[in-house]
Amino acid sequence: MRALKVGLTGGIGAGKSEVARRLASYGAVVIDADAVAREVVAPGTPGLAEVAQAFGPDVLGPDGSLDRDRLGKLVFADESLRMKLNSIVHPRVAERMVELERRAGEAPVIVHDVPLLAENHLADRFDEIVVVDVPPRVQMERLVRERGMSRAQAQARMRAQASREERLAIATIVVDNSGSLAELDREAGELWSELRRRGRTARG
């Protein structure tokens, strides 16, 4: 029995991780691309060695781990540096996510939580694309209020991602997360039911 492969994405601050947590609680196997990206550059990995070689020892903390804040300031200010980092990290992430998917066994729904799904043109790898959507002003408010970013930092992070329109263009299901957490609970429950239904249809 083949699992339904779902790509879950959304702009920074949209609440994609909240949706992923709820789907996991219903029984989906969730593979988190951000967690995998941290894993492939953990201390002692070839990925971290290659990042340090490409960006210099200043991107390492005193304990030898990756200084994400320092690296983030570099790559979000310079697209060519961001592309260089992606060329090191993304192939390793893709390989590890395939391995995790193989381990998922008989799960009916496998959700790949991928922030940069639209940017990296990965939509054709999935049966369904779920986009968690909020208006840009809501993104901005959340990044400033919940993550302590300045408005300029928030704008830089948002500009580094696909536009809202580009994400919505690849969506097969859209989850509106501009309301309350109670509303999101209801939407997540409906999403899970719909994914199960589409999975059964796909399996005939």
Q: What integer is the mean pLDDT of 153-168?
A: 92
Distance in angstroms between the alpha carbons of the first and the last residue of the chain? 10
Where do the domains of the chain lie, and which CATH numbers do they carry?
Answer: 4-202 (3.40.50.300)
pLDDT at residue 103 above 90? no
Query: Tens digit of pLDDT for each residue in 166-194?
Result: 999 999 999 999 999 999 999 999 999 99
Q: How far is CA 141 from the centre of its chain?
A: 20
pTM confidence score: 0.84
Q: List the 173-176 sheet strands across, edge first.
A: 29-32, 109-113, 4-10, 128-133, 173-176
The amino acid at 179:
G
pLDDT at residue 69 above 70? yes
Least confident span in 14-18, 80-84, 157-161, 200-204: 200-204
111 close to 30: Cβ distance less than 8 angstroms? yes
CA 15, CA 133: separation in Å to the nearest integer?
8
78: confidence class by pLDDT, cuts 50, 70, 90: confident
Q: Going by C-beta distance under 8 Å and a sequence separation of 6 or more, which residues neighbour residue 101?
A: 5, 31, 110, 112
Mean pLDDT of the chain: 92
**β partners of residue 52:** none
Name the DSSP class of 178: S
